[in-house]
Structure 1
Amino acid sequence: MQIQIIIAVYFLALIVIGVFSFFKIKTPGDYYVAGKKAGFIPVSGSLLATLLGGSAILGTIELGQQIGWAALWLLFSAASGLLFLVPLSKYVKRFGNFTLPELLGKFYGKRAEIIASAVIPVAWLGIVAAQIIAAAKILSGLHIVSYYPAAIVSGVVFIVYTLIGGQHSIIKTDTIQSVLIIAGIILITFYAVEHPTSGEVEHFSPTLLFNNNFKPFDLLILLLTYSVTFVVGPDIYSRLFCAKDEKTASKSVLTVALILIPLSFALTYLGIYSNTVESAGIIDFAEHLLPGWMYGLFLAALLSAVMSSADTTLLTSSIILGELASGDLSGKSSIKLTRFLVVILGVTSILIALFVNSVIQSLLFALTLFSGAFTVPTLFGLLRIKVDNRQIIPAIVSGGTIALTGKIVNTYFNDLTGNIIIIFSFLISTIILFSTTTKKQRK
């Protein structure tokens, strides 16, 4: 009963923050980017909470169970992407306003903005759904409610507070959630270290970063399909657009990158540790390790991780589609349209979660499509590299299609062939952008 109360209070607190934030929204900029006034702590907290979604936390622990200390590479690659973004973040803040497609429009023209606005929300639906799946699995794991009603309840909660308070409520809840997430990870790691099991936890050594289940080539694919999404991710850019200035944006990205490294060690250790106990996973052995009230807080931390990613990706996708439909986000009527899209996309994500219950599968397919389509064009734009702007749509469509094809081949047919196709997608996108068309061909 104690655990149910803690979780109920947590959900209620999110709704209350959303209602409180509603009264602070005076302009579209307040709803979309928190008035561009967020300081270092809110931007860093929101960015950290967004990145440490349920898929990142549960995914790292799951990988730790499967491949040992090589699982460190998951969040290491995320941190490396953020470190690469640090010098670029000032340009993101300088050139961007509300969304990534809008930024691409400044670099390549209106056609690029339109195609990005059409593709990104579709890809991001898989990410929102992945977070709902993770939340539903956490709640259903308590044996209070089954998976399907848990997915509906989780989805409705984050739809409501995103709908009401927009970016104002997300910045506030994310900052609180980041504290809960870090506290929860530290708490369970401390208890795991202080309560050794009969099995032996393998001590870390640099030689364990690669093994038969994770080779250097696997790291290359991880960098291309996962790390790059931390360099050009629309959810990350939405945090930077909220920052009050370029310095705040850069400092926040650097701080979060450094925080991810020790968290990666803690989560990987938990994965390895869980193999030495008879448990079905992190939730199961946390229940046996922690006192009741601490276990409730730990579950709230896990739900925080899930919700913080879900709300950001949901609002970002809705803003992007709203911009595509209206052509202008500066009018007050655009907020109504965006709120309508929050409901539509949120409900769609819930439906996906009801039929697809694999977090990693939903997440990685979406990220692969996005990275293949937008990594090369976005990086070239931020670095001010001159390309043939007329080729932007073929580059986006070809890159995304080939990368997604590679992921399908990788998942269902052959690992090596699929990975080679994914690498090929980035090369093709680059070649297309640098290609030139002769006058005769244009005619």
Structure 2
Amino acid sequence: MNIFLIGMIVYLIILIIIGFVGAGKAKDSDHYLVAGRGLTLPVLTGTIIAGWLGAGTVVGHANISYSNGFGALWWVLGGTAAISIVIAISKKLRRLNLYTVPDLLELRYGPIAKVIGSVTIIIAFTGIVGSQIKAMSYVLEAVTNIDPKIGAIIGALLVIFYTVMGGMYSVAYTDVLQYAMLLIGLLIAAPIAFSSAGGFSGWEINLPSSHFELTGGLGLSGALAIALPFLMLATVDQNLYQRMYSAKSASVARKGAVLGLIGGVTVMLLVFVIAVSSAVMFPDINPDLAVYVIATELLNPFLGMILLLAILSIVMSTADSYLLSPATNISKDLYNRFINKDATDKQILIITRIAVVVLGLIGLAGALWFDTFLRFMLVGYTVYGAGVFFPILAAFLWRGATYKGAVASISGGLLSTLIWEFGVNSSIPTIYIGATTSLILLVLVSLITKHSDSENADAFFAK
């Protein structure tokens, strides 16, 4: 048994313990879904960062950094812009005292928007869960030679287990542990990788000149196709909003978002350094494995174990977050709102936990079906961002948005994204089609339709 397996077993035991502790605290749906709205600043900060990053950073961002150098900084730019917007609205988000993004859509636009928004999130987030499961299989395959399909199954079952057990309590406290693991691992690996690659001079000598262009050889269109999905996802990310709703107060929510931005950007820049250095030392590997190979081929066994556990932990933290969110949509936004309005807390908890299991297994099926991580991840990001980004921004910024405009925008963004991605063979990035369709429909339909009695703009514009 190698040192990684020993470390992994110890780490997984800790996660299981946290799951059981969380189960004891999740006595009702309020505690299960938003941790009793009592997360303190340190816990909130850790769970914001861990939920925000994940495989999108240690695999997706690493892939782009390895392949396109400075072009990957557009990913960082997209994430930074997104969290900056969230900071601006964080206090208002907490004061709304909601549970989910569809709650927000219903408050502003009415129940039809809630239903369509819920469907969009369930589709998109289940796909994102699958991409995280695929990333977990990379870790297990890299160090144990286990079949990646078996690795995906193991990772999926573990995430399903501790999410089912404790809900937001388990998610939040495991996130803190997982972010700490990631930061330690990256802080150790980045200077070693950078030095081993020969520093900046080693980068310049061994990498294509396009790596040092502003767009990394992608061109402006390609660079924006990297930045926009992350920007549009993170700005209206239900995971992030659930953390705002879980904060102890509006002030804690805002401070947590600010610290989350600082911590998140730090992690992304460390991954950038490691992945670009990896391109110098290991020029012929799968770009998805740019960070993994540093752990297995460059670092000594103990330090490599720390980095691999860090990668595994942050991927799992994102998987649990994106698993709990759509399960909440099913139990609160669909079941409790439309099917059983008198549902007890116990019934809501049961439905949520069943949804966690079912969606986790669907995500696992997707992980086994998709061949490449990056495409899988970007599809999930684009489905969600193109569907709800503009209607949610309009909820805070434009009184003129109507419920018919929002419904048309969400539906058009979702359908155009799925049709373009899976039914049209084109070099035009899907995000351009989905986002443009969503924006045009929101504006045009809102301008030609009247407000309905189901809308409540005052909740978003009251001072």
Structure 2 counterparts to residues 16-27 of structure 1, below 5 A: 16-27=17-28
Structure 2 counterparts to residues 97-246 of structure 1, below 5 A: 97-196=98-197, 200-202=202-204, 208=212, 210-211=214-215, 213-246=217-250
Q: Are residues 1:285 and 2:285 paired?
A: no
> Whole-Å Cα distance in 1 between the matches of residues 439 and 25 of structure 2?
46
Q: Are residues 1:364 and 2:378 paired?
A: yes
In the alignment, what sits opposite 1:425? 437
> Whole-Å Cα distance in 1 between the matches of residues 6 and 413 of structure 2?
48
In the alignment, what sits opposite 1:373? 387
In the alignment, what sits opposite 1:267? 271
Distance 1:317 1:417, change over 3 A: closer
SS at match of 1:98: coil
Q: Are residues 1:305 and 2:314 paired?
A: yes
Q: TM-score normalised to the size of structure 2?
A: 0.88
> Whole-Å Cα distance in 2 between the matches of residues 67 and 408 of structure 1?
26
Q: Give 1:136 deviation, angstroms.
A: 0.6
Amino acid corresponding to residue 337 of structure 1 in structure 2: I
Distance 1:180 1:254, change over 3 A: same
**Which range is displaced more, 391-400 or 365-374?**
391-400
Contact 1:406 1:419 in 2 (8 A): no
In the alignment, what sits opposite 1:349? 363
In the alignment, what sits opposite 1:2? 3
- What CA deviation, in whole Å up to 9, does each residue of 1:16-55 have, x standing for no partner? 1000111112221110000000011111100101112112
Amino acid corresponding to residue 356 of structure 1 in structure 2: F
**Which range is displaced more, 423-432 or 392-401?**
423-432
Distance 1:391 1:73, change over 3 A: closer
In the alignment, what sits opposite 2:446? 434
> Whole-Å Cα distance in 2 between the matches of residues 70 and 371 of structure 1?
21
In the alignment, what sits opposite 2:58? 57
SS at match of 2:144: coil
Contact 1:318 1:339 in 2 (8 A): yes
Q: Give 1:406 deviation, angstroms.
A: 4.3
Distance 1:172 1:32, change over 3 A: same
Amino acid corresponding to residue 92 of structure 2 in structure 1: Y
In the alignment, what sits opposite 1:325? 335
Q: Give 1:356 deviation, angstroms.
A: 1.8
SS at match of 1:385: coil
**Which range is displaced more, 325-334 or 175-184?**
325-334
In the alignment, what sits opposite 1:32? 33
Distance 1:196 1:123, change over 3 A: closer
SS at match of 2:448: coil
Distance 1:173 1:131, change over 3 A: same
SS at match of 1:141: helix
In the alignment, what sits opposite 1:66? 67
Q: Give 1:114 deviation, angstroms.
A: 1.4
> Whole-Å Cα distance in 2 between the matches of residues 169 and 123 of structure 1?
23
- What CA deviation, in whole Å up to 9, does each residue of 1:86-141 have, x standing for no partner? 11112221224111101111001111111212221111111000000000111011
Structure 1, unmatched stretches of 5+, are none
Count of residue pairs the alignment pairs up: 437
Amino acid corresponding to residue 184 of structure 2 in structure 1: A
> Whole-Å Cα distance in 2 between the matches of residues 394 and 196 of structure 1?
51
In the alignment, what sits opposite 1:93? 94
**Which range is displaced more, 376-385 or 181-190?**
376-385
In the alignment, what sits opposite 1:252? 256
> Whole-Å Cα distance in 2 between the matches of residues 398 and 295 of structure 1?
46
> Whole-Å Cα distance in 1 between the matches of residues 74 and 213 of structure 2?
8
Distance 1:417 1:326, change over 3 A: closer
> Whole-Å Cα distance in 2 between the matches of residues 43 and 433 of structure 1?
38
Amino acid corresponding to residue 217 of structure 1 in structure 2: S
> Whole-Å Cα distance in 1 between the matches of residues 431 and 392 of structure 2?
22
> Whole-Å Cα distance in 2 between the matches of residues 437 and 228 of structure 1?
26
> Whole-Å Cα distance in 1 between the matches of residues 352 and 131 of structure 2?
22
SS at match of 1:414: coil
Q: TM-score normalised to the size of structure 1?
A: 0.92
In the alignment, what sits opposite 2:454? none
- What CA deviation, in whole Å up to 9, does each residue of 1:265-304 have, x standing for no partner? 3222222211221363422232232221211111110001
**Which range is displaced more, 26-35 or 88-97?**
88-97
> Whole-Å Cα distance in 2 between the matches of residues 390 and 50 of structure 1?
32
Distance 1:296 1:339, change over 3 A: same
Structure 2, unmatched stretches of 5+, are 452-463
> Whole-Å Cα distance in 2 between the matches of residues 431 and 383 of structure 1?
13
Distance 1:237 1:438, change over 3 A: closer
**Which range is displaced more, 244-253 or 207-216?**
207-216
Contact 1:405 1:421 in 2 (8 A): no
Contact 1:368 1:404 in 2 (8 A): no
> Whole-Å Cα distance in 2 between the matches of residues 221 and 158 of structure 1?
30
Amino acid corresponding to residue 425 of structure 1 in structure 2: T
